[in-house]
């Protein structure tokens, strides 16, 4: 059985949890985890390893199969490398193709031109071998090829995932500003949360943390209900995949009867978001989880046993609005009043800084006063968050939410010794 060189890209900051996850997968399906590099993890394995990684990885964005790697100086060198590869062994000219190129410190001027050259090379090769060129489809291609350029080397990858792996196949209504599923799963892993420990997301939005955690608690593989790019490749082992997917589906069926009493709880101030979260959970085939409409400033622990509170509050412009009497109002109504597009988020702020400062101070008070013994993990792009909460972070981890650089702040709300901090310079007075 051939052993392939594989690479799993992931959101930056999640390389270590991804490597740990691959080592877990390796306990059931042989694969060798290699180096962690910024933005992903190298590993090696055969077809079952490719399938198992696609089916079970919560943190990888894709699983890429390395076709070739060589030094280059010009676009022509890259063309030559691409034209030499036996693409005809993997797919046919009847399948549609998409090529993407990414580069770090490449001396070449135009990545579009490199993309074109790689595309040409693959199409020329298939025309020579089978008499015709494949069509290009950038939206819904059958086959995706990636070229990755460093200053000196070009690596060609064949994608085995198709749609990125954070698309689990059940999210229809994205809600507003949902977290990518693999980022949510990575944060759960960084927090050290394991099934059985109390988990509370007081700003659960469309329910990404809740859905990921529930699947983890029930042992449901994240890719159980989606298809993968490798299913369209010539060489994939259909029988092995049928058995692997069948087992995952069977496991999900058995888990469906499980009680929702998993120690996982979500709340949000927006009733609309809770409706979306519930229908997402339903589409994911998960039990009805406890979700409640609560303003995070008034939150109380949903469980007697302290655990982990995890949240990604609205960023920047995307926060709740204060009505004229100081109460929160959903912008859905206000947007209509102001003739604004309600598309970007369910909430908009009128007096941004004061609203933020007052809100986060109140949220910090709630954490300090009511969540003794809990650990709170908050993802935000706002580095002044600890100051606004009046809490001193125990840890901060840089993470990328797409292109947005964020910090995952950890706060230990230890009994009798909550690490408070004075208001930071520039914090708004409460």
Ligand X SMILES: C[S@@+](CC[C@H](N)C(=O)[O-])C[C@H]1O[C@@H](n2cnc3c(N)ncnc32)[C@H](O)[C@@H]1O
Interacting residues with ligand X (CB under 6 A): 175, 177-179, 202-203, 205-206, 208, 268-270, 273, 295-297, 312-314, 320, 328, 346-347
Angle formed by the axes of helices 238-256 and 47-56, to 10°?
30
Q: Smallest gap, in angstroms, from Cβ of residue 362 to ligand X?
A: 9
How many Å apart are CA 95 and CA 192, to the nearest integer? 43
Alpha carbons within 13 A on the beta-carbon side of 93:
14
Minimal CA–CA distance to 384: which of 393, 371, 397, 376? 393
Q: How many Cβ atoms sit within 10 Å of the Cβ of residue 88?
A: 15
DSSP character string of 278-296: HHHHHHTT-----EEE--G
Smaller CB distance to ligand X: residue 143 or 331?
A: 331
Chain mean position to CA 362? 29
Smaller CB distance to ligand X: residue 45 or 346?
A: 346
Smaller CB distance to ligand X: residue 39 or 178?
A: 178
Phi-psi region at 340: left, alpha or beta (left = phi > 0; alpha = psi -120 to 50):
beta
Q: Smallest gap, in angstroms, from Cβ of residue 270 to ligand X?
A: 4
Three-state SS at 54: helix
Smaller CB distance to ligand X: residue 211 or 418?
A: 211
Q: Smallest gap, in angstroms, from Cβ of residue 325 to ligand X?
A: 16
Q: Smallest gap, in angstroms, from Cβ of residue 416 to ligand X?
A: 27
Q: List the beta strands (DSSP E) in 127-175.
A: 143-149, 153-159
Distance from the first to the final alpha carbon of the chain? 65
Q: Smallest gap, in angstroms, from Cβ of residue 430 to ligand X?
A: 15
Smaller CB distance to ligand X: residue 172 or 425?
A: 172
Smaller CB distance to ligand X: residue 161 or 208?
A: 208
Q: Smallest gap, in angstroms, from Cβ of residue 258 to ligand X?
A: 23
């Amino acid at each position: 059985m051939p052993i392939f060189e594989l690479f799993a890209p992931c959101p930056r900051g999640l390389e270590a949890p991804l490597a740990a996850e691959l080592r877990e997968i390796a306990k059931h399906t042989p694969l060798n985890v290699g180096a962690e590099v910024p933005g992903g993890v190298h590993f090696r394995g055969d077809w079952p390893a490719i399938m198992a990684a696609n089916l079970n990885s919560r943190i990888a964005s894709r699983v890429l199969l390395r076709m070739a790697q060589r030094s280059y100086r010009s676009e022509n060198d890259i063309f030559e490398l691409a034209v030499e590869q036996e693409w005809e062994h993997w797919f046919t000219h009847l399948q549609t193709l998409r090529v993407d190129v990414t580069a770090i410190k490449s001396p070449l001027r135009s990545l579009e031109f490199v993309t074109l050259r790689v595309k040409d090379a693959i199409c020329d090769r298939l025309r020579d071998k089978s008499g015709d060129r494949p069509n290009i489809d950038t939206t819904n291609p059958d086959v995706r090829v990636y070229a990755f350029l460093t200053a000196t080397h070009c690596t060609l990858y064949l994608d085995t995932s198709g749609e990125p792996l954070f698309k689990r196949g059940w999210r229809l209504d994205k809600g507003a500003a949902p977290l990518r599923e693999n980022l949510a799963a990575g944060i759960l892993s960084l927090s050290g949360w394991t099934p059985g420990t109390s988990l509370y997301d007081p700003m659960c939005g469309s329910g990404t943390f809740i859905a990921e955690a529930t699947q983890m608690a029930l042992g449901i593989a994240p890719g159980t209900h989606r298809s993968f790019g490798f299913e369209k490749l010539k060489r994939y082992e259909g029988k092995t995949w049928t058995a692997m997917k069948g087992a995952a589906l069977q496991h999900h069926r058995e888990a469906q009867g499980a009680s929702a009493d998993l120690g996982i709880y979500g709340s949000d101030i927006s009733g609309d978001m809770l409706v979306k979260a519930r229908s997402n959970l339903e589409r994911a085939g998960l039990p009805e989880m406890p979700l409640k409409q609560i303003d995070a400033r008034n939150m109380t622990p949903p469980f007697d046993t302290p655990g982990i509170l995890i949240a990604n509050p609205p960023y920047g412009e995307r926060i709740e609005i204060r009505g004229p009497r100081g109460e929160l109002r959903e912008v859905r109504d206000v947007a209509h009043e102001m003739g604004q597009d309600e598309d970007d988020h369910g909430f908009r702020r009128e007096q941004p800084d004061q609203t933020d400062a007052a809100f986060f101070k109140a949220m910090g008070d709630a954490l300090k006063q009511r969540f003794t013994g809990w650990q709170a993990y908050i993802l935000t792009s706002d580095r002044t968050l600890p100051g606004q909460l009046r809490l001193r972070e125990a840890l901060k981890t840089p993470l990328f939410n797409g292109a947005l650089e964020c910090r995952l702040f950890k706060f230990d709300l230890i009994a009798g010794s909550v690490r408070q901090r004075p208001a930071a310079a520039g914090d708004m007075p409460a």
